[in-house]
Structure 1
Amino acid sequence: MLLRALTITLLATAVALPAQAQGAMTVIGGGMAKDCSVAALGGESDIRFETVCTQALETELLSSRDRAGTFVNRGILKLRRKAYSLALADFDRAVSTKPDLGEAYVNRGAASVGVRRYAEGLADLNKALELGVDEPEKAYFNRALAHEGLDDLKSAYLDYQKAQTLKPDWQDPARELARFTVERR
């Protein structure tokens, strides 16, 4: 099917960008790293869980994957509190610990979008999708936010659509798509 030119506009351009989607990591085994993982996966944002993550990083013998995962999980806890700079530092540590960990890139991309460094976020989100992540819909959603921040509305629209296709029951992409009008010419 050949598509003609697609014009996409926002209904209201003064809408604030929505919150980013985060992808936590399961850490295998027991101990504080596992507790950190459970907190991140469970949607916690209380700073006391960051302390558990920090203690795990300082005292537990962790594989490189679990160490990187614990940095990701601690970063997610910070990201939920909008402590973007602190979260970025954790995601940087995760990337340096395990450079092939897609979740580190998707979350670093989300944090970059949070501080309006859209081009950096876009690069990390593309890398995350290239490496593979457990929840690609979150990468597409965050990439849509980055595209929107860079005024690339067509790419933003297509990524919101992809996120919705991957997880149809997730309301955030549907809410964002409702802000767009599409004209085919």
Structure 2
Amino acid sequence: MLKALPLIVAFAALSFAGVAQGAVSVIGGGLAEACSKAAMGGEDDPKFQEVCTLALETELMNVRDRAGTFVNRGVLKLRRAAYTDATRDFDSALRLHPELGEAYVNRGAASIGRRRYAESLPDINKGLDLGVTEPAKAYYNRALAYEGMEDAKSAYLDYRKAQELAPDWPAPGEQLARFTVSRR
């Protein structure tokens, strides 16, 4: 059983591991949808942040889509390591839609980017509790936070959970390959 297994882990690769971001689908055409597609498609060009900003400034959206557009712009900022600006967008999303799990998970990812590992955990946990469309990314980010806090066992378990939830996503397996599990 895993509880009885002490874990030996190399932490060197943590600084090379990027956080996983979870975008929010916004449909209906227009700039907000283009912003959503850019965030979901892995774009990191600043011009897509401008598309999101223009959507927020000019388009009529329901509350969920407006909050989602803030999340998506924040995701684009995360990719450029603009953690403080990204956090502001996630905060804006949560003021509009406090039950949007992706906003919490991504705000946690921004904290991880700033190496505020313990600070990230309540947000990631809240996002998981509320539900997110890609929970594997939340578990992966929480594993990064645990690893940053030198809690190898918790990190290992969350990387395993991420791999279980998204077996075709290579990132969790790449992180797990660094771990050595042994019995005492």
TM range (shorter): over 0.9
TM-score (norm 1): 0.95
Deviation at 1:14, TM superposition (A): 2.7
Deviation at 1:115, TM superposition (A): 0.3
Q: Mark the runs of 5 or more structure 2 residues left unpaired by the alignment.
A: none
Paired position in structure 1 for 2:170: 171
- Partner AA of 1:15 in structure 2: A
Paired position in structure 1 for 2:75: 76
The answer to whether the aligner puts 1:99 opposite 2:61 as a matched pair is no
Deviation at 1:74, TM superposition (A): 0.3
Paired position in structure 1 for 2:135: 136
Q: Mark the runs of 5 or more structure 1 residues left unpaired by the alignment.
A: none
Deviation at 1:3, TM superposition (A): 5.5
Alpha-carbon separation, structure 2, partners of 1:144 and 1:75 = 21
TM-score (norm 2): 0.95
State which of 2, 11, 15 in structure 2 corresponds to 1:13: 11
Q: Give the 3 Å change call, closer, same or farther, for CA 22–85 of structure 1 in structure 2.
A: same
Alpha-carbon separation, structure 2, partners of 1:16 and 1:136 = 20
Deviation at 1:15, TM superposition (A): 2.6
- Partner AA of 2:179 in structure 1: F
CA RMSD of superposed structures (Å): 1.2
Q: Contact between 1:4 and 1:184, CA under 8 Å: does it hold in 2?
A: no
- Partner AA of 1:25 in structure 2: V
The alignment covers a number of residue pairs equal to: 183
Identity between Structure 1 and Structure 2 (%): 65
- In the TM superposition, 1:1-185 aligns within 5 A as 5-10=4-9, 12-17=10-15, 18-185=17-184
More helix by share: 2
Alpha-carbon separation, structure 1, partners of 2:167 and 2:118 = 27
